[in-house]
Amino acid sequence: MAELAGKTALITGSSRGIGAAIAKDLAANGASVIVNFHSNETAAKGIVAEITESGGQAVARQADVSDFDQASTLIKNIKKEFGRLDILVNNAGTTRDNVIMLMKEADWDLVINTNLKSAWNCSRAAARIMMRQRNGRIINITSVAGISGNAGQSNYSASKAGMIGLTKSLAKEIGPRGVTVNAIAPGFIPTDLTNDLIEDLQDTIIELTSMRRLGAPEDIAHLTTFLASDQASFITGQVIAVDGGMVL
């Protein structure tokens, strides 16, 4: 398939997990992909190698996108290198779980900055480019925790709920210039970020889903590719749960 041929896509935090699956799927559909990483260069280069060996186009670029200047510079350099930016997937994220009475301020700040501020940083920089192009796709990877909340994750749930608000506001702001903004809310998807939690609660989690199974990173990737395509040009401001019917 070459649905995204000629498109340039940045996926933040894409050296592993859901982000890596998204990068590979976008590349398989013709996009030139920028695999962003904060610290794990080896893993990022491994994803780039997988993509290029399969005939796709990808490069790895380091930046801490929770830092305003680094995020802005990353996107400015992408514009210089590729001439455009068509797709931004705000996927960078982390967790620091605890009940609120025991949660440290530093753990609140880290999660809010990594998950929410990074999405704002990158969206602000990308929106300028996409609005001038009069075309673009911003896709925010939020979570069902941002819809329903989750005990012991006040920082994570708040950051993901914030991404939903960001999605809806931006969709209204930049839609007139041909830029769509949508959010995907995964359920419990086995990744490095969630493996410990899923292992402890796997049976309970499966019981909560209508499909009676866990999802996979590729489930998120396939929807991302659709939302990035021209087929989704009239879809914006939406929050789509990919959770096997966990939050209905």
Please give the positions annotated as active site: 156
DSSP-derived pairing of the beta strands 87-90 and 57-62: unpaired
Q: What is the spatial distance between Cα 229 and Cα 137, in angstroms, rounded to a whole number?
A: 8
**Would you give the DSSP letter of residue 116?**
I
96 burial level (CB within 10 Å; 0-12, 13-18, 19+): middle
CA torsion through residues 194, 199, 200, 205, sign: positive
Residues 6+ away with beta carbon under 8 Å from 64: 38, 70, 71
Q: Helix H segments across 97-216?
A: 105-111, 118-133, 145-148, 154-174, 195-208
Q: Using DSSP, state whether 223 is helix, strand or coil.
A: helix
